[in-house]
Amino acid sequence: MKAALVEKFRAVYGREPEILSRAPGRIEFIGNHTDYNGGTVLGASIDRAVWVGLSRREDGRRRFASDRYDEVVTLPSGPVKKLSGATAWVNYPLGVLEALPEFGWRAPGGFDFLAMSDVPVGAGLSSSAAMELASGLAFLQATGENPGREALVKACRRAENHFVGVPCGILDQGVSGFGRKDHLVFIDCRGPAFSVVPLPEGAHFWIFNTHTRHALVDGLYAERHRECMEAARMLGVGLLADETPEALAAFEPGAPAESGILLMRARHVVGEIARVDDAVRALHAGDLSAVGRLLTASHLSSRTLFENSTAELDFLAGALAAAPHVYGARLTGGGFGGAVMALTSAEFGDGQAEAVAAAYGEAFGARPDILHALTSDGAQNIAASLDR
């Protein structure tokens, strides 16, 4: 990807990039809807990434290009404004530029910018957060800034929340920023606090993207958020992460029918936080079979208690969990459509993946996209010279 980026930069701008950076996509490993409830989550940075090349300009113009769009977008330096239509992809680096002064850092003036990516769009792998992290690293290197990693992650999350307008949690930027090869990123979302957990040798990820999306997905996500907040109030805690499994088991819901629904949502979140903690212990013990059982239990809880699965996701999770060389499988991301992730051994390969996809095709008349992924290091600056 590095050589391709340099070649493309030369073709677009007629000169060499001074600065190169990369940031990986991510998988939500386990911890479904725990982030905004103040809980814990595990994620994996994967070996698919967004790369950014940048060279400074003296005339104040900011030019943006991408391997996925033909148009070079030219903007003046100074205050940034949100774009729309075919140029809306530029909002991700623009949001980072807008966030830099909020954290006490200088934004670069004029520059030529090129992004390239092999992170599939729409597969729930957070190509947007990868774009933000790679852009942030390039901008800060251009101005000679060297902030801490946590501050950069928070700035990129701010860019997506306040400029792009997507109310994501810290998972996406945190995993892309703190990822490490052969490890998972553990995030305590209350802090937030970031650490890494070793991933036993031979673990592989397979993502099956259904390309299905519930027509009301945004409203359903907001509804689950509201239900979780109301469940916390019903239980007398600030956030569901403050509730213990023991207290929840002893709680008697009131008469309104919604109390039962709120209790279901709480049981999922509190149980999911416990599964994250159990997964950390199993990973430290090198017990991938135990981890796989937790992944499968996570999907069952999402389906029955949180009700954010679909028939397509249930089919894939069940078929994968029953397949040879698969430790476990679950929906990954917000749910209501999207993708399923399977944790497998190295013996699971293209043949088994194609068999699952074929069975899905017979059941639903469509084919899921398949992505095989391994862990990778998190966001980093790269030497621009091709001989380094």
Active site residue 369: no
Query: DSSP string covering 59-115, please?
Result: S-EEEEEETTEEEEEEEESSS-----GGGGGGHHHHHHHHHGGGGT-PPP-EEEEEE
Q: Judging by DSSP bridges, how do beta strands 337-344 and 326-332 pair with one another?
A: antiparallel
Annotated catalytic residue within 67, 172, 278, 314: 172
Q: Which of 162, 124, 308, 168 is nearest to 227 (CA)?
A: 308
The answer to whether 336 touches 310, Cβ cutoff 8 Å, is yes
User: Quick one: CA torsion of 209, 214, 218, 224, rounded to 10 degrees?
Assistant: -100
SS in 3 state form for 149-182?
Answer: HHHHHHHHHHHHHHHHCCCCCCHHHHHHHHCCCC
User: Judging by beta carbons within 10 Å of its beta carbon (0-12, 13-18, 19+), is residue 19 exposed, middle or buried?
Assistant: buried
Residues in the chain: 388
Q: Residues 6 or more apart from 268 whose CB is under 8 A from it?
A: 32, 33, 301, 302, 305, 306
Query: What phi and psi values does residue 24 have, to the nearest 5 degrees?
Result: -85, 160
How far apart are the C-alpha atoms of 334 and 60, rounded to whole Å? 40
Q: Catalytic amino acids?
A: 172
